[in-house]
Amino acid sequence: MAWLYDAHIHLSDIEYEHDIPLILNSMRKLRIKACCVSMDYTSSTKTLELGKQSDFILPFIGIHPEKAQDDVESTFKLIDENNEIISGIGEIGLDTTYTNSDEEFKKQEEVFKTQLSYAEKFRKPVSIHSRKTLDGILEILPSYNIPTTLLHWFDGSKKQLQKTMDLNCYVSFGPVMVYSKDKQVLLSKTNKDKILVETDGPVRFSRCFENKTAQIDFIPSIIFCASKILHMNYDELCDVIEQNSRRFLIL
């Protein structure tokens, strides 16, 4: 039986604080491992602690673009000091939503590039946030020799998807793919060896998910829906996603 992987979830978020034992139990029963991403220094330290609690939690630490204007040096130091035990660097990236000036965006870009340099130095995967900045990120990435890259919650065009595939990046699809025709089309045009799945919890999703906080146990439903779109057997797609996830994580 394959191991499933949630490629991007914020288990260090306060929404999950009191549910970790239940979440770990679900992960054990469903055979799911999770790339637990971080936002800043505080969440990165929490993520590291969660990683010590269970082998099912794969810690990614880093600075989200929303936090790029904060004190970042402490997080850089955390990456440096824990490079041998972290699974990757993330959630990092660019997003103009969180900037009010060219200077702030320049700072955000500097923080992003610094973290890409750490990923290159320590040979770590990265999990990237690319809302409204995908073209810029795709221009930046070739300048770095990073082992594997995930563009999480991929929301680009078909043309951008092709460039992403050309750059050998992974893309992940989450609960919204279950009811979004646009995401289903993108999934159908993604190279099968570059598909990952995620929840991006604690984001809440509508329709069949009833605006509930995303949970690890959404993953089988996402894969089941994806198997129908890709005209694949569920177990076959589980095997593909396990192989893709292990390659992304350099396991």
With beta carbons less than 8 A apart as the criterion, state whether 77 and 103 touch: no
With beta carbons less than 8 A apart as the criterion, state whether 60 and 35 touch: yes
CA distance 64 to 8: 13
Backbone phi, psi, residue 149, to 5°: -135, 135
Q: Which two tokens stand for residue 74?
A: 């402490």
With beta carbons less than 8 A apart as the criterion, state whether 56 and 26 touch: no
Annotated binding site for a divalent metal cation: 8, 10, 91, 129, 152, 200
Q: Which two tokens stand for residue 53?
A: 């609690």
Task: Name the 3-class secondary structure at 195.
Answer: strand
Annotated binding site: 8, 10, 91, 129, 152, 200
Task: Name the 3-class secondary structure at 174.
Answer: coil
Cα 63 to chain centroid distance, Å, stands at: 13
Cα 5 to chain centroid distance, Å, stands at: 11
Q: Which two tokens stand for residue 216?
A: 């690890």
